[in-house]
Structure 1
């Protein structure tokens, strides 16, 4: 049975009836008028001591929910900035190495790819994306060269990280350029880069939809290398540990160090953690001694 809608005041009364307290209840209507009750549910979920009846444990404070929401908003922006660098670097390396070896239209050559069905999907998608693109360089290409395919340095510029990741994954493993790209990302084996990129894309899409990230369960499984040119963590995180953001965040930092030396992403994260000292980082998969892990030193 559908639940009836509630006014902001009714929402506040419901939270109070469920043992949520307010430091200043007069401020609550402002927050609930600009951040929906349903969106905030994800941030107060773990405050409940009875998740069937949605009763809050003693000490659950509405303003703490807002702090957690704001922490997550800033956290997503920092991670998104890091992922943007990864996306641009991947695009650049794909275009550079593959074009020099196989020409400007390599991305249209099925002999360079393993799975032909996946390649077919890619071809359909890229032509759809190119023809619908509002980017000036792409519009002008089709105006000036209506019967010619765009070179890879044009065509791949309109692809999403998800499509680029799948494109890289589908390149034949024996092609040396695939290994070269992995090494430039700081990984000995191309399978780890493929795995990481696909999972980073999942996180990127979570952020793009303004969804909660801080304690998100990462449902996409990814591999972890036993060794890397530079250390990341002092242990290989198991599958359970990889379900939280900490290992992948460490991987994102590691890649950032390789492709963007001198970046400020780690410092921005540390500053954010200091700004919100009451956020339970353990819910994000941070171990007790996380600050002693190599990538975080």
Structure 2
């Protein structure tokens, strides 16, 4: 039987009954009117002493929940900025290297891809994105060349990161260009790069849909390279550690250092952490002494 809907005041009363403290009821009503109860619930989950009866630890305040929510919001904005840079670099490098090697319509060339059936599915998705696009360069192409497919430098500019990363992963492993792209992101092996792209795409989609990133379990498994062009961590994360964001965030910084040198992403993250000393970074997989890991050192 479905639970009854609760008014904002009833939501506050329920939280008070469970032990949450409210210092400013008007502020609480404002937040609950604009941020749903169950969105905020992801942030107070760790603050529960009893997760069956949903009872909070003594001293848990609604303001601390809001602080954690705002921390996560700023954290996601910085991460999204980082992933945007990686996505643009991936588009650029794929288009450049493969177009020079195999022509402007290389993305339609089945011989360049390992899984033919999957390649056909991806071509359909690419065509759907092209048909939906209102980008001026594609509108002009359709007007001037109605019977010709757009070259990769037009077509691949409008597809999603998910489709783009799958295009890369499905390229034949023997193609030198596949390894070249991985190398330019600071990774020696395309298999590692493909797995990082899958995970980065997952994180990007979480952020794009305004989902919680703090304390999120990373459900997409990825490999950790045996060696990299510059050191990232002084240990190899195990399966448990890679379920939290710290290792792949460190990997994102490593790739950024290669494709966007001079970026300020790490500095913005460090500033955010300094300004929020109450936030338990360990819940995101940050180990003790994380500041001394190679990629995080000033």
Which TM-score applies when normalising by structure 1? 0.99
The equivalent residue for 1:281 is 281
Mapped pair 1:168 → 2:168:
yes
Q: Secondary structure at the match of 1:253?
A: helix
Query: CA-to-partner distance for each residue in 1:79-136, whole Å, 9 max, x for gaps?
Result: 0000000000000000000000000100000000001111011110001110111111
Return the offset for 1:185. Answer: 0.5
Q: Following the alignment from structure 1 to structure 2, what is the Cα–Cα distance between the partners of residues 33 and 262?
A: 41
1:140 Cα offset (Å): 1.5
Question: How many angstroms apart in 1 are the aligned matches of 2:219 and 2:2?
Answer: 29
Counterpart check, 1:182 vs 2:179: no
Q: What is the aligned partner in structure 1 of residue 200 from structure 2?
A: 200
Which stretches in structure 2 are left out of the alignment for 5+ residues? Answer: none
CA distances 1:260-286 after superposition (whole Å, capped 9, x unpaired) = 010000000000001111000000000
* Map 1:142-153 → 2, pairs under 5 A: 142-153=142-153
What displacement does 1:34 show? 0.9
**Residue of structure 2 equivalent to 1:224:** 224
2:93 is aligned with 1:93:
yes
Shift of 1:293: 0.1
Give the C-alpha shift of residue 49 in structure 1: 1.2
Q: Which residue of 1 aligns with 2:133?
A: 133
The answer for the alignment partner of 1:108 in structure 2 is 108
The separation in 2 between residues aligned to 1:118 and 1:207, in whole angstroms, is 27
In 2, distance between residues paired with 1:140 and 1:6?
A: 53
Q: Distance in 2 between matches of 1:178 and 1:162?
A: 17
1:20 aligns with 2:20: yes
Give the whole-Å Cα distance in 1 for the aligned partners of 2:83 and 2:107. 23
Match of 2:20, SS?
A: coil
Q: CA deviation at 1:59?
A: 1.4
Q: Return 18-27 or 74-83, whichever deviates more.
A: 18-27
Q: Distance in 2 between matches of 1:56 and 1:279?
A: 17
Does residue 244 of the first structure (1) align with residue 256 of the second (2)?
Answer: no
Match of 1:123 in 2: 123
The equivalent of 1:65 in structure 2 is 65
For residue 151 of structure 1, report the CA deviation from its aligned partner: 0.4
**Distance (Å, rounded) in 2 between the aligned partners of 1:30 and 1:204:** 29
In structure 1, the partner of 2:268 is 268
SS of alignment partner, residue 156 of structure 2: helix
Q: Secondary structure at the match of 2:172?
A: coil
**RMSD of Structure 2 on Structure 1 (CA):** 0.7
**Cα offset for 1:144?**
1.4
What TM-score does the superposition give when structure 2 sets the normalisation length? 0.99
Partners of 2:42 and 2:293 lie apart in 1 by 29
Quick check: 16-25 or 96-105, which moved more? 16-25
- For residues 230 and 57 of structure 2, the distance between their equivalents in structure 1, rounded to whole angstroms, comes to 44
The whole-number CA distance in structure 2 between the counterparts of 1:220 and 1:131 is 30
Counterpart check, 1:45 vs 2:45 = yes
Q: Deviations along 1:34-55, whole A, 9 cap, x unmatched? A: 1111110000011111111111
Deviation at 1:25, TM superposition (A): 2.4
User: Counterparts of 2:293 and 2:38 in 1: how far apart (Å)?
Assistant: 36
Q: Deviations over 1:160-194 (max 9, x none)?
A: 11111000000000010001111100011110110
Equivalent residue for 1:214?
Answer: 214
Give aligned pairs, total: 297
